[in-house]
Amino acid sequence: MKRTALGLVLLASLAFAQRTRDKLTDDLRGISSLQIADDILALAEPGAEPSRRTVREFTDELTAAMIGKPSGAYIPQLRTAIVDVLHSNALPGWRYREAIESLRSRLAAMRVPYAEAQRVADRLKVVGQEVRGPDDLPVRNLPVLK
């Protein structure tokens, strides 16, 4: 009985995640910054959520970059990069950096100027830092014990 209930809960959560991912895809097509921010926050893992402000700054940059650009074929790839960063606390560092680079290169393929695409990628990196924590801690001199 417990196994069946657990299975139903798992199935329901997977269905919700898929609907939310589909909604993110639709909102990326519609270029609604506020709605994209809500979708991103809904996809974040509990306990590893980025702040609403940081996500909103990212979505503002993203939507500004995408206005008037041919985006249709690139939306699933943009969504994948965003979701990978949202779940990057379980990814190795190279995969996290690859997701950010994927977003930047997809924007470049959409004919977004390099500087603008890099600004969006940098904002996504800030989202990822809130999810993962900083990649590298500063080097500190340890006290010498005598």
At 111-120, the pLDDT tens digits run: 999 999 999 9
Whether 83 contacts 58, CB under 8 Å: no
The pTM for the full model equals 0.72
Q: What are phi and psi of 139, to 5 degrees?
A: -75, 130
Whether 75 contacts 64, CB under 8 Å: no
Whether 89 contacts 48, CB under 8 Å: yes
Q: Is 57 exposed, middle or buried (0-12, 13-18, 19+ CB in 10 A)?
A: middle
49-80 tens-digit pLDDT: 999 999 999 999 999 998 888 777 888 999 99
Q: Helix, strand, coil shares of the chain as percentages rounded to 5?
A: 75, 0, 25
Model confidence band, residue 34 (pLDDT cutoffs 50, 70, 90): confident
